[in-house]
Amino acid sequence: MTATVELPTYTYRLVILNDCDAPETRMIALVRDRGKGPEWTYLSADKRFGGRYLNWSPLQFPEEVTDLHAFGVKPVIELRDGQHRLRVDRLSGSTATYSDGHSRKWQGHSESMSTVRPELVSALKRWSAQ
């Protein structure tokens, strides 16, 4: 008889981390939480993200993240050339603000796409099913 291993149940959010990260597809972070404190990592396979940005890190300032919907955009996952790519569709105006209260708009181009790191595709699909 084999033992059944129960996998952790996470909730997921797609966010821009703080006022310093530009609101564009390359800077979208995935936040996951299973009730023990949120963790984050960037979705992008961009080679400029190295080292610690490719691991799950504790989200130290959860009040500083901005959910993508606040920017008036909706993430869209596409499969192109055997890779999962992320782009956004603009749905409405932005309600996002900087920490000083000034309005914050989505800065990415409408055709801009970011390749998703392969190890995060299943988590991204679980996010889209929530």
CA proximity to 123, closest of 37, 12, 5: 12
Mean residue pLDDT across the chain: 87
Burial label, 31 (beta-carbon count in 10 A; 0-12, 13-18, 19+): buried
* Sequence-separated (6 or more) residues with CB below 8 Å from residue 79: 85
> So what's the pLDDT on residue 9?
76
pLDDT band of 105, cuts 50, 70, 90: very high
> So what's the pLDDT on residue 46?
85
- What is the pTM (predicted TM-score) of this model? 0.87
> So what's the pLDDT on residue 5?
61
Locate all alpha helices (DSSP H) within the chain, ordered by sequence: 121-129
